[in-house]
Structure 1
């Protein structure tokens, strides 16, 4: 009997405007996973930046998915700037980070993580997916 290859661990980083509805976040996640033929079961956690720690839509999404929701401070996320697919001066001015979604996904994925799906946008939400151990 052959062992099946291990499913890669996926980590989702989100950015959003204040008050972004959970449905917008959920649709963005579902569409992104479907478009990239990725299973929801591979998702291990979701993340954002510290000012979003109490964002109702993100908290509701994590609860709905039964996944940890982790927030990182801007200083930690800055370390991932060389790996970003794009840099946003607007995001930097507002958060101190060049890209919340991609940086948060990479931070969750750990030392060997890599960006798998760059920043996707739906309405007031952004999402990026990273693969890690």
Structure 2
């Protein structure tokens, strides 16, 4: 499977340059997907740690992995091997969220990290990435959870999943 990286943007902002493109289409026989896992991670984090954290998030939200539509992270981290390998292992595209889109979605996060707020201007990178990728009507299904080197939050588009 070829990995897709999609650049999210704030409505009205200039379109960003494309990052990577490729076919990451779902077979028609798969269950509908509506869920985005936002991921924040440190440079030394492995794909296995990200995968374990996503699995734990889905378990905590009591949602099947078939609902997972994408991973999302900050655009400047989307080229990192660990996040790309995690997306590929899950069979979902990777959504690269630009700074403006992160900050816009950051207004809706529910958890706050002083460190990430100082570095990124948002309280939770994972929550902001998930919300930005889910769109303006997206809602958090699972606030940020953390492992030693990563954070994960789950968001759904509008009413795509039951409350």
TM over 0.5: yes
- 1:13 touches 1:129 (CA, 8 Å); kept in 2? yes
Query: When the two structures are superposed, what TM-score results if normalisation uses the length of structure 1?
Result: 0.88
- Segments of 4+ in structure 1 off by > 6 A? none
Correspondence 1:116 to 2:141 = yes
Q: Map of 1:1-133 to 2, 5 A cutoff?
A: 9-132=34-157, 133=160
Query: When the two structures are superposed, what TM-score results if normalisation uses the length of structure 2?
Result: 0.73
Report the Cα distance in structure 2 between the residues aligned to 1:7 and 1:59, rounded to whole angstroms: 22
Identify unmatched segments of 5+ residues in structure 2.
1-30
Q: Deviations over 1:63-107 (max 9, x none)?
A: 111111011122211112231112223112223333210000001
Identify unmatched segments of 5+ residues in structure 1.
1-5
Over the residues paired in the alignment, what is the CA RMSD in angstroms?
A: 1.6
Higher helix share: 1
Report the Cα distance in structure 1 between the residues aligned to 2:154 and 2:112, rounded to whole angstroms: 16
Report the Cα distance in structure 1 between the residues aligned to 2:125 and 2:152, rounded to whole angstroms: 9
Q: CA deviation at 1:7?
A: 5.8
Aligned residues: 128
- 2:44 touches 2:149 (CA, 8 Å); kept in 1? no
- The match for 1:3 is none
- Relative contact order (alpha carbons < 8 A, sep ≥ 6): 1 or 2 greater? 1
